[in-house]
């Protein structure tokens, strides 16, 4: 009986020691450098920008690939910094030569860019996703979660900044090494605090939340709620992201407004005192 217990203790100790050494090795500098050489060049090609990371590692339980201090540069200027990213890996697609990322979690990203840079990155990622490759291995992303993000964006003579940004995206196919449609079925998002500075308009503060879907070149806005100084705007509609022979860039929206007089005076820089509300409904 004593020998049997001793044997079990030895086996368990060997297993624990092996797992411990494996855990340390997968988080060590050698694995990190190898993963950087494999992953970062592909991300740079996909985005058309220089992508760097302080460390990339593998965690066993639960199984995920983690990255720390990921940074994206535009001509030497930092446009994105993410302190921590985790890609949770599923094993269901191994037989089909498919790497399944069950969930991609992006924590506290900080984006500083302009509209043209964002549009160019989206275009390059789409082109990268639709490229035909010799490798039979595909990569599938099921969901993307972003927590506590912040941004500063420029568009012509306007600038927008926000914090408390969260995104929950359930996806069909995003990245693949075989020719595929770029699809992001449904995205729920919240911006707790946002500031807009538009030339000729006063500074406005508010929050946004909504639900959208992207189908090919169409942005389907299923629900959009904008709050500004107690006033509220609800919108639904579609926006065509690109133009073509049979369609023009733009879209149509159904909107409902509940506008407080204080918000109205602030938006249009009116000085006269007064109270009240304005309700409106229509198409744009």
pLDDT (tens digit, 9 = 90+) per residue, 48-93?
A: 999 999 999 888 878 888 999 999 998 888 999 999 999 998 877 6
| Cα 229 from Cα 70, distance rounded (Å) | 36
User: For 169-189, how does the pLDDT look when each residue is reduced to its tens digit (9 = 90+)?
Assistant: 887 654 444 444 455 578 899
Task: Give the CA distances from residue 258 to residues 21, 125, 202, 204, 232, in Å, rounded to whole numbers and listed in that order.
Answer: 61, 39, 19, 16, 5
Angle at which helix 115-129 crosses helix 29-47, to 10 degrees, equals 100
Token pair recorded at residue 174: 């995003």
pTM for the full predicted model: 0.76
Q: Torsions phi, psi of 47, nearest 5? A: -95, -20
């Amino acid at each position: 009986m004593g020998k049997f217990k001793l044997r079990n203790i030895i086996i368990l100790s060997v297993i624990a020691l092996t797992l411990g050494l494996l855990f340390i090795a997968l988080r060590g500098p050698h694995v990190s450098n190898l993963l950087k050489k494999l992953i970062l060049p592909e991300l740079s090609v996909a985005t058309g920008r220089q992508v760097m990371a302080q460390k990339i590692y593998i965690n066993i339980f639960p199984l995920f690939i983690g990255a720390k201090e990921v940074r994206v540069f535009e001509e030497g200027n930092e446009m994105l910094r993410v302190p921590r990213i985790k890609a949770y890996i599923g094993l269901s697609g191994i037989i089909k030569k498919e790497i399944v990322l069950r969930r991609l979690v992006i924590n506290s990203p900080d984006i500083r860019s302009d509209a043209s840079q964002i549009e160019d990155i989206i275009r390059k990622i789409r082109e990268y996703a639709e490229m035909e490759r010799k490798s039979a291995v595909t990569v599938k992303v099921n969901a993307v979660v972003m927590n506590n993000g912040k941004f500063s964006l420029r568009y012509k003579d306007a600038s927008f900044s926000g914090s408390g940004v969260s995104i929950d995206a359930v996806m069909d196919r995003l990245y693949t090494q075989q020719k595929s449609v770029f699809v992001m079925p449904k995205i729920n998002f919240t911006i707790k605090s946002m500031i807009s500075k538009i030339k000729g308009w006063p500074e406005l503060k508010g929050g946004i939340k909504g639900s959208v879907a992207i189908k090919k070149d169409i942005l389907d806005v299923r629900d959009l709620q904008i709050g500004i100084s107690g006033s509220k705007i609800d919108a639904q509609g579609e926006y065509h992201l690109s133009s073509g022979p049979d369609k023009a860039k733009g879209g149509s929206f159904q909107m409902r407004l509940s506008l407080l007089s204080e918000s109205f005076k602030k938006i249009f820089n009116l000085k006269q005192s007064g109270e009240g509300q304005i309700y409106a409904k229509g198409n744009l």
